Amino acid sequence: MNTRLNGIGMTSQRTRLRMIERLREQGIKDEAVLAAMFDAPRHLFIDEALASRAYDDVSLPINFNQTISQPYIVARMIEILRNGKPLGRVLEIGTGCGYQAAVLAQVAREVYTVERIQPLYERARRQLRDLKLRNVSVRYADGSAGLPEAAPFDGIIMAAAAPMLSAALREQLATGGRMVLPVGTQEQWLYVVERDANGFRETKLEPVKFVPLLMGKA
């Protein structure tokens, strides 16, 4: 058994099962998402000093004023993105430590993930490569404009709060696709944007708290 992947003590499979039970209690119903959350070794994406809290339902610091989102919000956003259907090509804006990309890799055919902070990009790329997630492509770029060269996407998911819904990102959605993102500055809300043959439909879901989306590379 690879103890690094499976964890020991506070990062063990038993601890992960408790996380999955908690996610069910919080209303997550998508079995594919729950399986992906169980399999993704969250403890490998955070500092060793915080590993004992890896499967708690909390966001944790990952340096550079960034955080790894709490498991519930990762599961919730991916469940909304999937909408009960298999995902083809997905764009993630804000790779961070790479954890959400590792979950997405198990429920999507292809994952493109963009990070603007170079040390985070390098760390995430190395970690995802070590996990042999070959369907994930990590890019060092300003994700606020999306990734037009790889569009269209069946799903777009954003891990930072945009001040408003982006027309450029909407245009990179495939027909039948969905975008899930936090929007707002002082007060943030989770939105889902759906594209069909008639255009776009935006739905405001629930209050959330994310780091702000910043422009440019760092």
Catalytically active residues, by annotation: 69
The answer to whether residues 53 and 71 touch, using CB atoms and an 8 Å cutoff, is no
Residue 62: HSE in the Cβ half-sphere, 13 Å Cα cutoff: 26
As to burial, measured by CB atoms within 10 angstroms (0-12 exposed, 13-18 middle, 19+ buried), residue 47 is exposed
Work out the angle at residue 180's Cα, subtended by the Cα atoms of residues 33 and 54, and round it to the nearest 5 degrees.
45
Alpha carbon separation from 154 to 128, 131, 176, 198 (Å, rounded) = 22, 24, 7, 16
Partners of residue 146 on adjacent β-strands: none
